[in-house]
Amino acid sequence: MMSLTLMAICSGTFAQNINRMELGDYERVKDRKVYHLPEIPGFVTLTADLHMHTVFSDGVVWPDFRVQEAWVEGLDVIALTDHIEVLPHKENIKGDHNTSVESASRVAEMLNIILIKGTEITHGMPPGHFNALFIKDANLLDNDDPMEQIKEAAAQGGFIFWNHPGWASQQPDTTLWWDAHTTLLEKGWLHGVEVANQHDWYPVALDWCKGKKLTVIANSDVHEPVNSTYDLSVPGSHRPMTLVFAKDRTAEGVKEALFSRRTLGFSGTQIMGSEELIHQVFYASVEVRESYYALERGGRKTLFREVVNPTDLTFILEKDGEGQMDQRIELHPHSIAVIRHGEGVELRYRLENCWSGSSEHPLVILK
Amino acid sequence: MMSLTLMAICSGTFAQNINRMELGDYERVKDRKVYHLPEIPGFVTLTADLHMHTVFSDGVVWPDFRVQEAWVEGLDVIALTDHIEVLPHKENIKGDHNTSVESASRVAEMLNIILIKGTEITHGMPPGHFNALFIKDANLLDNDDPMEQIKEAAAQGGFIFWNHPGWASQQPDTTLWWDAHTTLLEKGWLHGVEVANQHDWYPVALDWCKGKKLTVIANSDVHEPVNSTYDLSVPGSHRPMTLVFAKDRTAEGVKEALFSRRTLGFSGTQIMGSEELIHQVFYASVEVRESYYALERGGRKTLFREVVNPTDLTFILEKDGEGQMDQRIELHPHSIAVIRHGEGVELRYRLENCWSGSSEHPLVILK
Amino acid sequence: MMSLTLMAICSGTFAQNINRMELGDYERVKDRKVYHLPEIPGFVTLTADLHMHTVFSDGVVWPDFRVQEAWVEGLDVIALTDHIEVLPHKENIKGDHNTSVESASRVAEMLNIILIKGTEITHGMPPGHFNALFIKDANLLDNDDPMEQIKEAAAQGGFIFWNHPGWASQQPDTTLWWDAHTTLLEKGWLHGVEVANQHDWYPVALDWCKGKKLTVIANSDVHEPVNSTYDLSVPGSHRPMTLVFAKDRTAEGVKEALFSRRTLGFSGTQIMGSEELIHQVFYASVEVRESYYALERGGRKTLFREVVNPTDLTFILEKDGEGQMDQRIELHPHSIAVIRHGEGVELRYRLENCWSGSSEHPLVILK
Amino acid sequence: MMSLTLMAICSGTFAQNINRMELGDYERVKDRKVYHLPEIPGFVTLTADLHMHTVFSDGVVWPDFRVQEAWVEGLDVIALTDHIEVLPHKENIKGDHNTSVESASRVAEMLNIILIKGTEITHGMPPGHFNALFIKDANLLDNDDPMEQIKEAAAQGGFIFWNHPGWASQQPDTTLWWDAHTTLLEKGWLHGVEVANQHDWYPVALDWCKGKKLTVIANSDVHEPVNSTYDLSVPGSHRPMTLVFAKDRTAEGVKEALFSRRTLGFSGTQIMGSEELIHQVFYASVEVRESYYALERGGRKTLFREVVNPTDLTFILEKDGEGQMDQRIELHPHSIAVIRHGEGVELRYRLENCWSGSSEHPLVILK
């Protein structure tokens, strides 16, 4: 058959006949996932992956497939960020540094995905790799000097972040901040840092974001199909992403939110960002119901309380307060926990999977 | 180890040490599922399974395990309905016809599950099998004459329904209504019918409900652990259940709703009940977004529209209206479909998986 | 990070440190699957997909990714068969009709996958689409006349088969054989037919194979990543494939087997091909154990017998013989069924999911 | 419907009709799993769970359900070991200490499961909990003195093992051997130890087995349905079990093997037991193919070698030898790894997931 390229969404089906039977056993269902995420007042919550590759640099898929997989996975925003410098397919690929994004724009429009023009500036350490988003012409960044490249990106109004600062190939011992990054910061050319990239996350980078007022970013940096890097059949699974709290669901809204640092990193079951945003997200996610008395096994009357998490987020709570209460509560996505507690006890817990610094977990009270 | 009987909900964990390591690879996570179901004005939507067995008749599990599995699966309401007449374990079981429910009540209270006292009256056809719910003393139903039994159940204020009317062992050819059922109906002793039981459903029974003002009921009739009869690892899977639209989440609320016929059957991906309730449920479930123009493959500009189903229900839509629109839309749970349509077209569809009669599917308009 | 392009097989892992933590929750494990398939005397059983696309025609993945996904899925043989005529990416792709296969050869050698040079000749009906395998130079087939193209393929020693003969876009009413195909057959330029392609299968094509001595072929014709077209997380799932019974595991062995018609189609749970091969495969797959007496429920003594299927194939048996025996036996992959039967009964069954003609199912005896 | 108690294996199915439709969406398929396990010369490999509970002590399922779930999971041998002392259901259960096993024997015979009569002797520490298998009359063990009970079990020819020696409730600090156990050992009344129980394993217990010539045992100690304690939908999942290398597949064969210490523990992906048995199992499981040269990415020619694991076991290999070879190889069940190595290098690895002592991992050579 000829390629559908864009999967046939909602297509009418041909009738079968005796000489053409359908074998649907293992057919992949292609729906867009609905994300259940909390909203915080004044903003919409957008799911964004701001770092990925296509055949136009060292990825293995055609650009519009990136839109299609994002659609299936329920993302709102993607940036295609093919390398300026790493072009292993160049012998067989025609086009310039803008081609990748341009060729995906029709499908993005059709599927209502916000597609951001980006590119990756790729150097040894220092200064390492950087993504520039919302640029106008990536070809103007094709230049040997990283500082010139970044300057040009900034001149185009780009949002620039440092990629995978703890990548073992570039920072084998530990995750260090270099003088070059101070320079970039001082020039106003550095706006964010990836605290999580693919399967890694870099706790110290969260401290940098806090101390230097940089935006928290988490991305997949995927080169293969996403479902080849992540096993998306695992319940609750997802690629690493940045949660963006935007004024509206537009590219402009995303840009404003990124420059305003209204983001959280979300990788695996971990959530990274400011204490304030984590608090807002937690309290907007979790419903704590009225306590009630019932007999425990053994016959002792105890207070029980349901804690409801109807979102796609996970919250792991460890007891932080005084008094009788359960030690650990795992609020998996779309689940309810029943907890036990003593009378008059303040249910104070530490969010073990949420990070407001390299060793800081926000506290919450279940009331 | 000694039995936990009631699974350890939210328990503190012992620290490991070098001589006691945990192997968590295949450990079952025990959370209560959050159901995402639409609410209709004035009512809460409760998930109920009103027919199941324990070791006290011909089931294979202890009563309080029925509460625990219902808790995990996210049910609000269960009725234990052990047979009066079928007691294969009686040589090794002590207790009367009330013991089963009574022994499960402590765990039900602790886990906030509404536990309804019931029993199954079990005879050949006619009249077949009946469940009596909300009875006060099942022992008073231990009697050879089905009419006497049902009369007693009614005298106790019971809600009585005919079980699996199309069970092949009792109705091998087709699903028939007998004179005995007319008698029961006329005496006011028959209030509902199972339109779905375990893996079967009986379309004609839905016509009876409509014509004779009987309540639509769907149940698992489970004898084994639920997860041995249904594969609950399949995404979206669930046992057959009755959706109850109750004034409040109490046993009294459930009783009032059952007698008032505010229920739908929900088995597999099928939904059965009155057109009015299905309409309310559909429109409370599905969000239809603004249409937008985009280029199709091939370059034609077309109207696209997102249809969002954030619930655990499935809706299969087949085109019923005139004009250009997609032929078939499958709205799986927690999914978004993008549909194409012509300008000014009324998007009228037939809900193929929703039944308001043995051959009636409600119509809906996507606007 | 830079692309791995070829997934890091068996790589050493970097140690984590406090500032680089791994989040392995949803990481895709990349192993090659072991296929459990029966061997028949004198031959090795090879799993082959002989029809697929890359970005060099209308697919969305780079050629060496096709090798990698085949490796993971446990295939032995793939043919890359990009279209001569359908080149939607040509504006951005450089290379000729041989580039696709050539660029994948290094990875194929490393992963020990047999990579066959192929191409797809693509025309309206008649004659439709054809794959030519084992050709030497696809560029010589770039020609407007299908007969000339096929002639050239044959001259290069190619194995030529008709693709998806019942494709609804080309044969909307039913699956017909045209005069053009008779011509090809008479000239010796047609060697096989796809009886299954993607999610479809064409029963009548199996009759053609039998009557006209054509090789039975089944393929995925995949354009996207395989895991986007098939849900490979379903236990037992696989893309459509041709089982090749070859003298050895080499490209030459595959070619000899194809020209000798020693193949079966395997799509979904269906198996298509000659009665003789199906018999050989069934008896080499299934172990029938000694019968034994035991009490049935109810207390009647009956003969029981275990039937063991340790393979990745499915066999669905329907009673064909006389006497007391179970009506239907479903031998799923890696499963054992216990069947009941009368004394002295010949256990003759029809293989419902195996097809030796459009309406012929081989018979087997369980002894 | 009435209970099937024993699931309907291989039953004929009733035809559907317009008024009885089947909804098979989530129906649990009930097949017996085929285990792919290596055989070692002279023995059959049996899968055994020798510790579990029913409603006759503190379990929640009827005894014959234990046989049915074992059948589905592919076990060959189970022992029902209800407590003598812990009888929370006794108010509602009739029967003596033999009833549990006796009531399951018919189904065991029908399904060809080896059912071993056992019981659990249940005391505080010391001496803790013990299972006695192959006893003749459990009622004679109903006695307050653990020493008298164990003596009686030994007098009946029982095989006696210490259960969960590191259970946190009885050994909160670490896993200790007490004088009482020395006494039992000296009297010849102690034959084995559970090195793994439910989700725990106790490395030091493996040293005891080695030093004191005790049999290595691993069990589920399950009280709920197995699928409620373990998530059996996870690929490769299984309850903890003892692999028994028996002269034949009979109860006598199992008994002889247990007394002869021909067992391995198998819990999660870990394997515990003697170095000799682990070596035999590894080399009977894994096929190492001929090395071949191919180009790595970057263009260097390297030796590659396929290592094939067609079993249900996992082997994790860490480099132990000198020279160039991959650092870590994960041989998941039914998978093939491709490894790289230097010329003339001996591929010596340590089996990280196999334990021949609390800190000993057998070494293997891939040749």
Q: Which ipTM score applies to this complex?
A: 0.94
Per-residue pLDDT of B111-161, as tens digits, reads: 999 999 999 999 999 999 999 999 999 999 999 999 999 999 999 999 999
Per-residue pLDDT of B166-200, as tens digits, reads: 999 999 988 999 999 999 999 999 999 999 999 99
Asked whether the bond before C127 is cis by omega within 30 degrees of 0, the reply is yes
Per-residue pLDDT of C180-217, as tens digits, reads: 999 999 999 999 999 999 999 999 999 999 999 999 99
Please give, rounded to a whole number of angstroms, the shortest distance from the CA of A284 to a CA of chain C.
25
Q: Which residues of D touch C308 (CB under 8 A)?
A: 34
Residues of chain C with pLDDT under 50: 1-13
The beta-carbon neighbor of C335 closest among D31, D330, D334 is D31
The beta-carbon neighbor of D34 closest among C111, C334, C338 is C334
State the Cα–Cα distance between residues B151 and B187, nearest whole angstrom: 9
Q: What is the pLDDT of residue C299?
A: 80
State the Cα–Cα distance between residues A337 and A354, nearest whole angstrom: 18
Q: Is B226 left (phi over 0), alpha (psi -120 to 50) or beta?
A: alpha
Suggest the residue from A6, A11, A26, A73 to mutate for an interface test with chain C (most C CBs closer than 10 A). Answer: A26
Q: Which residues of B touch D30 (CB under 8 A)?
A: 228
Are A20 and C200 inside 8 Å of each other by CB? Answer: yes
Q: Which residues of B touch D269 (CB under 8 A)?
A: 25
The beta-carbon neighbor of A200 closest among C20, C60, C99 is C20
Q: Which chain B residue has the Cα nearest residue D99?
A: B92
Q: What is the pLDDT of residue C15?
A: 57
Among D64, D51, D49, smallest CA distance to D5 is for: D64
The beta-carbon neighbor of B106 closest among A5, A109, A295 is A295
The beta-carbon neighbor of C34 closest among D74, D328, D334 is D334
The pLDDT confidence band at residue A15, using thresholds 50, 70 and 90, is low
Are A335 and B33 inside 8 Å of each other by CB? Answer: yes
Q: What is the pLDDT of residue D19?
A: 84
Q: What is the pLDDT of residue B41?
A: 96
State the Cα–Cα distance between residues A209 and A206, nearest whole angstrom: 5
Q: What is the pLDDT of residue C330?
A: 96
Neighbour subunits, C (≥3 Cβ pairs < 8 A): A, D
State the Cα–Cα distance between residues A13 and B330, nearest whole angstrom: 12
Are B58 and D5 inside 8 Å of each other by CB? Answer: yes
Q: What is the pLDDT of residue D12?
A: 40
- In this model, does residue A12 exceed pLDDT 50? no
Please give, rounded to a whole number of angstroms, the shortest distance from the CA of A33 to a CA of chain B.
5
Q: Which residues of B touch D66 (CB under 8 A)?
A: none
Q: Letter for the amino acid at D258?
A: L
A165, A175 in Cβ contact below 8 A? yes
The predicted model scores a pTM of 0.95
The beta-carbon neighbor of C109 closest among D106, D295, D309 is D295
Q: What is the pLDDT of residue C3?
A: 39
Suggest the residue from A3, A4, A31 to mutate for an interface test with chain B (most B CBs closer than 10 A). Answer: A31
State the Cα–Cα distance between residues D159 and D48, nearest whole angstrom: 14
Q: Which residues of C touch D31 (CB under 8 A)?
A: 330, 332, 335-337
Q: Which chain B residue has the Cα nearest residue A293?
A: B110
State the Cα–Cα distance between residues A82 and A61, nearest whole angstrom: 12
C-alpha angle with apex A162: A159 to A163, nearest 5 degrees? Answer: 115
Q: Which chain A residue has the Cα nearest residue B341?
A: A10
Q: Which residues of C touch A2 (CB under 8 A)?
A: 58, 83, 86, 122
Q: What is the pLDDT of residue C298?
A: 78
Helix (H, G, I), strand (E, B) or coil at C61: strand
% of chain A surpassing 90 pLDDT: 90
Write out chain B in H/E/C secondary structure: CCCCCCCCCCCCCCCCECCEEECCCCECCCCEECCCCCCCCCCEEEEEECCECCCCCCCCECHHHHHHHHHHHCCCEEEECCECCCCCCCCCECCCCCHHHHHHHHHHHHHCCEEEEEEEEECCCCCCEEEEECCCCHHHHCCCCHHHHHHHHHHCCCEEEECCCCCCCCCCCCCCCCHHHHHHHHHCCCCEEEEEECCEECHHHHHHHHHHCCEEEEECCECCCHHHHECCCCCCCCCCEEEEEECCCCHHHHHHHHHCCCEEEEECCEEECCHHHHHHHHHHHCEECCCEEEECCCCCEEEEEEEEECCCCCEEEEECCCCCECCEEEECCCEEEEEEECCCCCCEEEECCEECECCECCEEECC
Are B22 and D200 inside 8 Å of each other by CB? Answer: yes
% of chain A surpassing 70 pLDDT: 96
Neighbour subunits, D (≥3 Cβ pairs < 8 A): B, C
Please give, rounded to a whole number of angstroms, the shortest distance from the CA of D307 to a CA of chain B.
24
Among C231, C228, C308, C217, smallest CA distance to C267 is for: C217
The beta-carbon neighbor of C5 closest among D109, D297, D336 is D297
- In this model, does residue B6 exceed pLDDT 60? no
Among B185, B23, A14, smallest CA distance to C171 is for: A14
Q: Which chain C residue has the Cα nearest residue A64?
A: C60
Suggest the residue from D60, D85, D239 to mutate for an interface test with chain B (most B CBs closer than 10 A). Answer: D60
- In this model, does residue A11 exceed pLDDT 70? no
C-alpha angle with apex A55: A50 to A58, nearest 5 degrees? Answer: 75
Suggest the residue from C28, C64, C120, C229 to mutate for an interface test with chain A (most A CBs closer than 10 A). Answer: C28
Per-residue pLDDT of C69-120, as tens digits, reads: 999 999 999 999 999 999 999 999 999 999 999 999 999 999 999 999 999 9
Helix (H, G, I), strand (E, B) or coil at A102: helix
Q: Letter for the amino acid at C65?
A: F
Per-residue pLDDT of A45-100, as tens digits, reads: 999 999 999 999 999 999 999 999 999 999 999 999 999 999 999 999 999 999 99
C187: its two tokens:
């000239």
Cα-Cα-Cα-Cα dihedral of B183, B189, B191, B193, to 10°? -60
pLDDT tens, residue order, chain D (367 aa): 543 334 444 334 455 678 888 888 899 988 999 999 999 999 999 999 999 999 999 999 999 999 999 999 999 999 999 999 999 999 999 999 999 999 999 999 999 999 999 999 999 999 999 999 999 999 999 999 999 999 999 999 999 999 999 999 999 988 999 999 999 999 999 999 999 999 999 999 999 999 999 999 999 999 999 999 999 999 999 999 999 999 999 999 999 999 999 999 999 999 999 999 999 999 999 999 999 999 987 788 999 999 999 999 999 999 999 999 999 999 999 999 999 999 999 999 999 999 999 999 999 999 9
- In this model, does residue B10 exceed pLDDT 90? no
Please give, rounded to a whole number of angstroms, the shortest distance from the CA of A94 to a CA of chain C.
4
